[in-house]
Structure 1
């Protein structure tokens, strides 16, 4: 067993849903004391370390912020952490302090033949603010393994390699009408009726679809909220409709078609980018490395939701996702991660760092 599980326990105990400073302090201090890397804390609060040299760079990427904990996950002095049946329980164990700990240990122990970079970002859970800030400041590794969950995707007990993931575009359809008394509906323009016309347009839109390294990837589009009207006896002069779209690399649903309806406009509220690995050789390299670390046969898979890999890929980094978290663990009241899988991820990350020259 490596010391990744023990380090995970330490990290999980540190609250980081409102302020990531304390967790970042711990990671920075540990890296300075335990590794021979050059460690920096950038102006956004990200912790970045580098070691080795070469013509190419490989980054092990994670984030140390978490979503707000459930009451049961909070103790007197921080987050509550428990261990039982080979698993570590606590807010952030799966998403994703466990993989951060595995990457920290791999960064410490690897003897890379390339430039090896460790990065733990802030603000992933609120739109990737840390990753975006680092990229704006010049963070641009050639390749990255992002340690979000990829375990148990193809089959139980296997840590797979995700070569792509969906993005998320959240939009609001704003609808204007003309108010009137409900006893004279013809005197106004009913914004809710116009909104239903816009909803019909969304309903009929084709889902975005693409192919990544030979695998078909489909997104989705759905209306998720509607709000309008001010009184039971008034024709509404305004209505809003929320649309959730799961995007795929290079494709978006043509939502702008709703603006062909009079009084209807569209605003994009959030656009988290999808990810597609830009280099098959890199995807195959990490996949093969993952295969030699476990008894099962990992596969190249796709993830349904966005990660910081989307921002990195958009900026030109070839990315894959490979980590300990399993489907259904993140953001739950009993969030947990397997200690054995943390050891496996440590092995994957270290082997990738040490064998990377073959790809370069």
Structure 2
């Protein structure tokens, strides 16, 4: 089975609200096509392992998707629409990221586990140099549910290639290697006051006024930045929602604002400063961690594999979006992000991916897997 065929099969299976069916297909495919040890954990993650050794390299993806557009669902709603046009596959999940999951599965099937003796690659009679893992998680689109569950259950590879999009960053069509990405922290600032009649506002305490004081603090913050791979990865913090008040003639006793913060490896914006205001509380609702690869040898090995499979010259780059690489990195795994999706494709009504780039990624993953550990 080719990477395009497996992608089509996976994409056609709905996995917005329930990933069970597509997980079943992945599990069955791995059991049929490989001799690996395949498991399915309580969350629904599909994990396959082969080889053994001191270090583990994981090829990581996720098989859940965001809600499809009406045009991406077949009439009976039991199947997603998958179409091929001009060398691309169109459909929900083609880019984000069942295409890369298929490429990783093909690479896992076709990879020969490196064998070593005294630190040097030798014949097949030598001991395996390390373990190769395929992992496709559930719940990435809703906060990394599957990755967090796997980590809690002991999933701890030393290295991981996460197949989220990295194509088209340094130049159109080039599959690059992302060595860092931003995280996302979402939080709520709640201001409380005292209700009063608007004609006697001095008798109360206006919660909206307290909230606007908090907004000014957010606006004046200088989010941190970090230099990675010759790029400046900059954080941000922006107020995105505000809700307060009950009637035109009532001084409000409560007002909420939400803040979207894009984080970078290292320091965070000092949003806790709003709690110095009277009657103001700050609560973190979601915190998707950023990622930075600190193992230059690993990053260069993946970059060399990327360079070998395409005529253009790829680069080490940074990525603006949070991925499951953040959870893995926070748990101690050295990660890079490398995949077929291009900027602007994920979550769109006409989501698509290049078949040629999927094939490229499958070969890229295979080459990297056979050269690491080393």
CA distance in 2, matches of 1:54, 1:207: 42
Please state how far the C-alpha of 1:54 moved relative to its aligned partner: 2.3
Match of 2:108 in 1: 107
CA distance in 1, matches of 2:234, 2:68: 32
- Within-5 A mapping of 1:1-360: 3-75=2-74, 76=76, 77-113=78-114, 114-213=130-229, 215-358=231-374
CA distance in 2, matches of 1:88, 1:215: 32
Q: Assess if the C-alpha contact under 8 Å between 1:229 and 1:239 holds in 2.
A: yes
Q: Assess if the C-alpha contact under 8 Å between 1:210 and 1:251 holds in 2.
A: no
Q: Assess if the C-alpha contact under 8 Å between 1:213 and 1:280 holds in 2.
A: no
CA-to-aligned-CA distance 1:218-243 (integer Å, 9 cap, x gap): 11010011111000001111000100
Q: Which runs of 5+ in 1 are unaligned?
A: none
What do you get for the CA RMSD once the two structures are aligned? 1.0
SS state of the match for residue 44, structure 1?
A: coil
Q: Which runs of 5+ in 2 are unaligned?
A: 115-129
CA distance in 1, matches of 2:17, 2:265: 31
CA distance in 1, matches of 2:357, 2:191: 50
CA distance in 1, matches of 2:54, 2:277: 54
Q: Assess if the C-alpha contact under 8 Å between 2:57 and 2:373 holds in 1.
A: no
CA distance in 2, matches of 1:188, 1:217: 44
* Change in CA separation of 1:252 and 1:29 when aligned onto 2, cut-off 3 Å: same
Q: Assess if the C-alpha contact under 8 Å between 1:87 and 1:337 holds in 2.
A: yes
How many residue pairs get aligned? The number is 357
CA distance in 2, matches of 1:213, 1:328: 22
CA distance in 1, matches of 2:353, 2:186: 30
CA-to-aligned-CA distance 1:244-287 (integer Å, 9 cap, x gap): 00000121100010011100010000000000012111111111
CA distance in 2, matches of 1:184, 1:305: 48
SS state of the match for residue 297, structure 1?
A: coil
Q: Assess if the C-alpha contact under 8 Å between 2:239 and 2:257 holds in 1.
A: yes
CA distance in 2, matches of 1:297, 1:342: 17
CA-to-aligned-CA distance 1:45-77 (integer Å, 9 cap, x gap): 100000122221110000000001111000034
SS state of the match for residue 323, structure 1?
A: coil
Please state how far the C-alpha of 1:212 moved relative to its aligned partner: 3.1
Please state how far the C-alpha of 1:214 moved relative to its aligned partner: 5.2
